[in-house]
């Protein structure tokens, strides 16, 4: 018995020695790697800026372009190999330390049981090791030094790169160079650029500028309008339909003379009808004569641009070849899919996001400007939050099972302007922009909070915990009041704008599961999944009327020209006056199921069904 125990102790002792020695070797290698990287920086290659300068003088030199790509690829490979060595070495070092500690604990425990703890010479070597303080000091010092080296090395890419596909050289007159993984990117455009993008707010997320040839954009049509200069004005936004639920994301369209009668199956007032190649639940957005939607399946994630007047497909672009994008598709439910979020546009570019976490920016002719992966959303239904733009920032609500955050990406480069962590649970709601009279706020709903943020800085302005469950509806807003609701929770009216925000009233009779509240003319309209459409007094929360239509509502009510349009899942759009008493104007049929919200432009209504995209006009 004692002999067997002694043998186990000796074996454990050998394991402890071997593991400790292995950990020390890894520590030495990590330190060596750090020193070599600092002495010979793989990304800091003076050759590339010189070549780029030459290319700017002769932009048609194909041999020079190939040489630049080759140097870029070599530098990147050296850098990422170094990073892989640091990560792998750190894991192995920690593994060695843990094994050594466990082996030592086993030996000490076994010795105690054999009553040999007081005899240092029974198991030779182990206690001697403990007694050799200099060994402990040196080993610990190496481990600490290795950890410091690893930490200092892990973020060194930020000194040289805006992102993992752009090398930013130190010379301020030099330009970013696209990596050779995107060899088809036109380097003529790179050579014409004169200022590298700032990395001040860049994160470790991946940004990937790619050429138009990789987007399958097709030939730019003469029907595509030229890009206007500067930031979009409020007048421009209101004249178009740039976001989910209109120019502020709150369900209010500033369009006139929209039709109130149509029949998609019978052809009544159908201006055009097209089948979108890939399925999606994103509602259309419109700028000028261009209409945009997304579609996706396991093979591809696509952006489609149509002529809003004729239904002609102007171009299509694939969200592919994005660094960090998953090779396999995330699990999503059938009623969410891979293309649920609605796009956004500022008239200068269009932006789309998919359930893979891929975000893509395209110019108005379909050429890719940038793309990045935000990390695959940990959402058990799939990602559903739509996009919205504030000035030069693309705002993204990214509430997942792992964490919640609100992000602002620079619309021109895709780099992170700011990112605010949120104390929230998973949600599928979307941001809205409101002007309180004193300031502009971006308002988000989730479990348990309704929050207001400064869209310029990401600073949280206020929060009120008042919701619960899996929140899908976005907020409504009108006249200094925010309206938030969720099924199996409650509907709340929150007074903001002056003083501390506070709940003015609560109600729980009619609650939406997916559809977002609409607030207009002192009224709040609610559409439920059990087929009831209700009108609430915005000041008191008192129910004014309710109407049962029989079919569930996933789409959100939209206000246009004194009327409220709400489409149920059977494809029927019910049109009522925005008044305190129930006045039905009419019910129009799509002829197929629908979950998307109606969109308005130039006296026409655009509606996406399960299979087709429709344009209705008188």
Per-residue pLDDT band for 136 (boundaries 50, 70, 90) equals low
Q: Smallest Cα–Cα separation from 608: which of 240, 246, 274? A: 274
Confidence (pLDDT) at 215: 37
- 340 in Cβ contact with 384 (< 8 Å): yes
Number of Cβ within 10 Å of residue 2's Cβ equals 8
> What is the pLDDT of the chain when averaged over all its residues?
81
Could you report the per-residue pLDDT of 466-508, keeping only the tens digit for each?
Answer: 999 999 999 999 999 999 999 999 999 999 987 889 999 999 9
Residues 552-611 have pLDDT tens digits of: 999 999 999 999 999 999 999 999 999 999 999 999 999 999 999 999 999 999 999 999
What structural domains and CATH numbers belong to the chain?
2-178+185-199 (no CATH), 215-617 (2.130.10.10)
85-92 LR contacts (CB < 8 Å, sep 24+):
85/29, 85/33, 86/30, 86/33, 86/34, 86/150, 86/153, 86/154, 89/26, 89/29, 89/30, 89/33, 89/146, 89/150, 90/26, 90/30, 90/146, 90/147, 90/150, 92/22, 92/26
pLDDT class for 43, splitting at 50, 70, 90?
Answer: very low
Both tokens of 539, joined, read: 């000041």
Name which residue leads in pLDDT, 89 or 190.
Answer: 89
Contacts of residue 137, Cβ cutoff 8 Å, sequence gap at least 6: none
- What pLDDT does residue 112 have? 67
Tell me which residue has tokens 């040839």.
Answer: 213
Query: Tens digits of per-residue pLDDT, 533-559?
Result: 999 999 999 999 999 998 999 999 999
Query: E strands along 364-501, which residues?
Result: 368-373, 388-390, 393-399, 404-410, 416-422, 432-435, 440-445, 449-453, 460-465, 476-478, 481-485, 491-495
Going by pLDDT thresholds of 50, 70 and 90, the confidence category of residue 451 is very high
Give the predicted TM-score (pTM) of the model. Answer: 0.66
Q: Please give the full DSSP string across 240-301, using - where no structure is assigned.
A: SB-STTSTTSSSEE------S--BTTTTBTEEEEEE-SS---PPPEEETTEEEEEEE-SS-E
Buried b (16+ CB within 10 A) or exposed e, 97-120: bebbeebbebbbebbeebebeeee
Q: Which residues of 500-532 are buried (b: 16+ CB within 10 A; e: fewer)?
A: ebebbbebeebbbbbbbbbbbeebbbbbbbebb
């Amino acid at each position: 018995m004692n002999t067997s125990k002694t043998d186990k102790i000796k074996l454990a002792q050998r394991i402890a020695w071997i593991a400790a020695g292995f950990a020390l070797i890894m520590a030495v290698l990590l330190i060596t790697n750090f020193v070599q990287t600092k002495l010979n920086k793989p990304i800091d290659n003076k050759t590339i800026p010189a070549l780029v300068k030459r290319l700017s003088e002769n932009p048609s030199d194909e041999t020079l372009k190939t040489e630049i790509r080759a140097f870029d690829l070599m530098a990147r490979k050296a850098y990422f190999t170094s990073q892989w060595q640091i990560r792998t070495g750190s894991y192995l070092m920690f593994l060695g330390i843990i094994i050594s500690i466990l082996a030592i604990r086993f030996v000490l425990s076994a010795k105690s049981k054999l009553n040999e703890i007081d005899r240092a010479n029974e198991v030779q070597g182990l206690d001697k090791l403990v007694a050799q303080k200099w060994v402990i000091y040196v080993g610990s010092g190496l481990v600490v030094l290795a950890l410091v080296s690893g930490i200092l090395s892990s973020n060194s890419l930020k000194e040289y790169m805006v992102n993992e596909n752009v090398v930013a050289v130190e010379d301020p007159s030099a330009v970013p160079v696209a990596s050779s993984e995107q060899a088809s990117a036109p380097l003529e455009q790179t050579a014409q650029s004169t200022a590298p993008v700032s990395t001040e707010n860049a994160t470790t997320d991946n940004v990937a500028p790619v050429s138009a040839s990789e987007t399958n954009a097709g030939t730019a049509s003469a029907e595509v309008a030229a890009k206007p200069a500067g930031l979009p004005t409020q007048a421009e936004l209101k004249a178009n339909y740039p976001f989910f639920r209109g120019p502020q994301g709150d369900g209010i369209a500033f369009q006139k003379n929209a039709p109130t009668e149509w029949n998609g199956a019978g052809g009544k007032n159908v201006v055009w009808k097209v089948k979108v190649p890939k399925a999606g639940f994103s509602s259309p957005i419109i700028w000028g004569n261009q209409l945009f939607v997304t579609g996706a399946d396991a093979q591809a994630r696509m952006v489609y641009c149509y002529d809003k007047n004729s239904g002609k497909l102007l171009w299509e672009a694939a969200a592919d070849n994005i660094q960090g994008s998953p090779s396999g598709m995330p699990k999503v439910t059938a009623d969410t899919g891979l293309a649920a979020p609605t796009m956004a546009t500022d008239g200068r570019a269009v932006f789309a996001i998919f359930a893979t976490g891929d975000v893509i920016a395209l110019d108005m002719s379909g050429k890719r400007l940038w793309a990045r992966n935000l990390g695959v959303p940990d959402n058990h239904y799939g990602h559903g939050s739509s996009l919205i733009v504030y000035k030069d920032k693309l705002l993204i609500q990214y509430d997942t099972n792992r964490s919640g955050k609100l992000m602002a990406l620079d619309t021109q480069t895709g780099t992170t302007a700011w990112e605010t962590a949120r104390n929230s649970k998973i949600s599928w709601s979307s941001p809205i922009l409101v002007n309180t009279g004193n300031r502009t706020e971006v308002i988000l709903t989730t479990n348990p909070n309704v929050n207001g943020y400064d869209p310029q800085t990401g600073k949280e302005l206020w929060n009120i915990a008042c919701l619960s469950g899996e929140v899908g509806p976005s907020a409504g807003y009108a006249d200094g009041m925010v309206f938030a609701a969720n099924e199996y929770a409650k509907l709340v009216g929150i007074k903001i704008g002056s003083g501390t925000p506070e709940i003015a009233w609560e109600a729980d009779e009619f609650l939406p599961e997916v559809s977002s509240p609409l607030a207009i003319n002192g009224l709040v309209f609610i559409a439920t999944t059990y087929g009831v459409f209700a009108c609430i007094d915005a000041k008191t929360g008192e129910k004014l009327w309710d109407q049962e239509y029989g079919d569930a509502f996933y789409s959100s009510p939209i206000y246009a020209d004194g009327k409220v349009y709400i489409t149920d899942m059977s494809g029927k759009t019910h049109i009522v006056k925005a008044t305190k008493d129930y006045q039905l104007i009419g019910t129009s049929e799509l002829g197929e199921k629908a979950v998307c919200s109606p969109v308005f432009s130039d006296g026409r209504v655009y509606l996406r069904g399960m299979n087709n995209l429709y344009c209705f006009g008188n």
